[in-house]
Amino acid sequence: MSQVCVRFAPSPSGFLHVGNVRTALFNYLFARNQGGRFLLRIEDTDEETSTPENERVILETLNWLGLEWDGDMARQSGHQERHLAEANRLLAEGHAYRCRCTPDELELKRHAAEAAGRSRKYDGTCREKNYPDDGTPFCVRLKSPREGETSFHDLIKGDISVHNAEVDDIIIVRTNKSPVYNFAVVVDDHDMEITHVIRGDGHLTNTIPQIVLYRALGYAVPEFAHLPLVLAPDRKPLAKRRGAKAVLEYKREGYLPDAVVNYMARLGWGYGDQEYFTRQELIEKFSLEGVQAAPAAFDPKKFDWLAGEHIRACDNEKLFRYFSEYLLEFTSYSVNESLFSHLPDWRNYLIESVKERARTLSEMLDKCRFCLVEEVEIEEKAGKRFLTEAIREPIRDVLNFVASSAGEPTEQEWMDCLTAIMEKYQLKMKDLVQPIRVALTGTTVSPPIDRVLILLGKERVRRRLEAAMAGIR
C-alpha cells in the first residue's frame, strides 16, 4: 500500500503560500488515488520557528482545505532518541565518523576551496581519524562513498545520477547532539513506512545524500518525485516578498476551499484540457505521470474564473452554510432569519439571487448586504443622482401598490406594477428601476430588482421607500 508523508517545517512567520501547500495537496491526491495513507509530520526541531501559533497555521490551513490526514500527527522532535541511536549505529558500523573541526576551521576551509575554484564540500580532514568520544566536542558526519555513482529515478524528472566523489560528507548530528534534518527525515520516513517522497524542487539536492543514508542504514529506498516550482505571474519564484498570499488569506477573502484546491492542483498537473474538477474527480484522475517537469505560473485571472465556477456549481444548502460561517468569522454581518419570515425557502432564494456572478463569499455579501440589515444608508452620490423630485410620484405609486397588496407580491406582480408605472409616466426601465434600487439597497449595484423586492418583503420595501421620499429635496 502506498504511504506518503507531508512534512511541514514551521516558517519563522508561519507563512504558507500556494507553493508550500500544493506539495501537501499532491501528496494527499496521490495517496487517495492509490488507496494509500496520507500522513502528517511536523518538522519541529527548530525551537525558534516551531511555535504553537506557527503549528496552528499549518493545521488550520490543511483542515480548511479538507486535506485530512490518516492517524495521529507526528512530530519530529519526539523521535530524537531514535535518531541518535541510529547515528550511533552508523558510527559503530563505519558509515559515519566523528568530526572535530570547529566552525571557524570549516569556514576557512570553505573560503580556501572557493578561492582555489574547488567544491565547498568538506575536505575529509577527520574522515579516517577514528576519534573516540573522549569529551572533545564533535559532530557526526556521514561517510559517503568515494567511488562510483548514486542514481535514482525521479517519477517526474526521470533518471538522475551523481558521481559519489561529488557527494559531501554531510553532518548528521550537530555538536550539540541534535540530529540534522537530512538525517532525521530518513529515519522518520523509514519508521513511518513511507513508500513515496513527493516534495518540491528545492529538495532535489538533498535526495542523493539521503539515498546514501538509506543504504548505509540498510533501509529500503522510497520512490522520489520532485514537483516543479510555482512561479509568480512575472515568472519569478512565488514568494511572500513578491506578492504571494498566505493560503488562509484566501479564506478571509471568501474563496471556497474546493476552488483553491482545484486551482492548486492545476499548477503543474493536468488532465487533458479539463480545468474545473470536483474533489472526487481530482482524486480519481490524479497521477504523477500528469505532473509536468517545467514550473507553473500562478494566474490570478484563471484562479478567479475557477472560483466563480465553484460558487455556481456549489449546492445551495452547502453554499449557504459556507456563507453563514464566513459572515460569522470575518464580518459584522449575520443572517437574521426574522428578516426573511415573509419568504418561504428564503435560504435557497437568497443564494440563487447572489451566486450567479460572484467569485467569492465576499462578493456574495456585497450583492446582498442590503437585505441582511433593517435599514440601509444611501450612498451620497447615488442619492443625489437618482433620488430627485422627478421620481417622487412614481415611488408614491409603488407605495400605493404595497398598501393595496393583501399578501406578499410575487415577482411577476412586482414587475407588472413597475411596468404599469413606466407606462403611466412614460419612463424607461432604468429611469424607474435605478432610483428604486438606490432607495432599497443604498447603492446602484444589486441583484435584479424583482429579486431585491422579494428578498426585502413589502414591509421593508415600504419603510425604505418612505425614507427615501422623505430625503428628496
pLDDT for the residue 19:
85
- Please indicate, yes or no, if residue 29 is contained in any of the structural domains: yes
pTM: 0.93
235 and 295, same domain (yes or no): yes
325 and 337, same domain (yes or no): yes
Which residues constitute the domain of residue 319?
315-368
Measuring CA to CA, which residue among 156, 165, 167 is closest to residue 199? Answer: 156
Helices 257-266/52-65 angle, 10° precision: 90
Residues 187-197: pLDDT tens digits? 999 999 999 99
Q: Which residues contact 274 (CB under 8 A, 6 or more apart)?
A: 285
**Integer Cα distance of 250 and 244 in angstroms:** 11
pLDDT for the residue 8:
83
Task: Say how many Å lie between the first and final Cα of the chain, rounded.
Answer: 76
The SS3 of residue 222 is: coil
**Integer Cα distance of 287 and 443 in angstroms:** 48
Fill in the DSSP letter of residue 299: -
**Integer Cα distance of 72 and 64 in angstroms:** 18
Measuring CA to CA, which residue among 329, 401, 396, 394 is closest to residue 361? Answer: 329
Q: Which residues contact 67 (CB under 8 A, 6 or more apart)?
A: 24, 25, 28, 38
Residue 18 near residue 267 (C-beta atoms within 8 A): yes
256 and 159, same domain (yes or no): no
Residues 375-387: pLDDT tens digits? 999 999 999 999 9
- Please indicate, yes or no, if residue 222 is contained in any of the structural domains: yes
Residue 257 near residue 65 (C-beta atoms within 8 A): yes
234 and 223, same domain (yes or no): no
Q: Which three cell numbers stand for residue 229?
A: 516550482
Strand partners, 296: 230
The alpha carbons of the chain give a radius of gyration, in whole angstroms, of 32
Q: Of 293, 308, 323, which one is at a domain's C-terminal end?
A: 308
Q: Which residues contact 362 (CB under 8 A, 6 or more apart)?
A: 253, 254, 326
| DSSP letter for each residue of 127-195 | TTT----SSS--EEEE----SSEEEEEETTTEEEEEEGGGS---EEE-TTSPBPHHHHHHHHHHHTT--
467 and 387, same domain (yes or no): yes
- Please indicate, yes or no, if residue 373 is contained in any of the structural domains: no
Q: Which residues contact 348 (CB under 8 A, 6 or more apart)?
A: 316, 317, 320
pLDDT for the residue 409:
97
124 and 206, same domain (yes or no): yes
42 and 115, same domain (yes or no): no
- Name the pLDDT band for 13 (thresholds 50, 70, 90): low
CATH number, domain of 339, equals 1.10.8
Strand partners, 99: 139
- Name the pLDDT band for 16 (thresholds 50, 70, 90): confident
The number of folded domains in the chain is: 4
- Name the pLDDT band for 14 (thresholds 50, 70, 90): low
**Integer Cα distance of 245 and 372 in angstroms:** 30
The SS3 of residue 6 is: strand
386 and 337, same domain (yes or no): no
387 and 277, same domain (yes or no): no
Q: Of 263, 292, 308, which one is at a domain's C-terminal end?
A: 308
250 and 188, same domain (yes or no): no
Torsion-angle region of residue 379: left (phi > 0), alpha (psi -120 to 50) or beta? beta
pLDDT for the residue 119:
84
Fill in the DSSP letter of residue 237: B
85 and 142, same domain (yes or no): yes
CA distances for 306 relative to 81, 143, 197, 256, 409, angstroms: 47, 51, 29, 10, 37
- Please indicate, yes or no, if residue 219 is contained in any of the structural domains: yes
Residue 301 near residue 332 (C-beta atoms within 8 A): no
CATH number, domain of 467, equals 1.10.10.350
CA distances for 54 relative to 12, 13, 39, 66, 80, angstroms: 8, 7, 19, 19, 21
CATH number, domain of 279, equals 3.40.50.620
pLDDT for the residue 12:
62
- Name the pLDDT band for 98 (thresholds 50, 70, 90): very high
Percent of the chain at pLDDT exceeding 90: 86
Q: Of 347, 368, 389, which one is at a domain's C-terminal end?
A: 368
Q: Which three cell numbers stand for residue 461?
A: 420595501
Taking the CB of residue 187, how many other CB atoms lie within 10 A of it?
23
Measuring CA to CA, which residue among 465, 458, 466 is closest to residue 341? Answer: 458
- Please indicate, yes or no, if residue 64 is contained in any of the structural domains: yes
Residue 9: is its pLDDT beyond 80? no
pLDDT for the residue 293:
93
**Integer Cα distance of 163 and 183 in angstroms:** 20
Largest CA distance in the chain: 104
Strand partners, 200: 227
- Please indicate, yes or no, if residue 60 is contained in any of the structural domains: yes
The two beta strands, 171-173 and 139-142, are: antiparallel
- Please indicate, yes or no, if residue 425 is contained in any of the structural domains: yes
Mean pLDDT of the chain: 94
222 and 238, same domain (yes or no): no
The SS3 of residue 226 is: strand
Residues 427-448: pLDDT tens digits? 999 999 999 999 999 999 999 9
Active site residues: 240
> What's the distance, CA 234 to chain centroid?
20
- Please indicate, yes or no, if residue 375 is contained in any of the structural domains: no
Measuring CA to CA, which residue among 78, 87, 211 is closest to residue 140? Answer: 87
Fill in the DSSP letter of residue 293: S
Percent of the chain at pLDDT exceeding 70: 98
Q: Which three cell numbers stand for residue 259?
A: 476552488
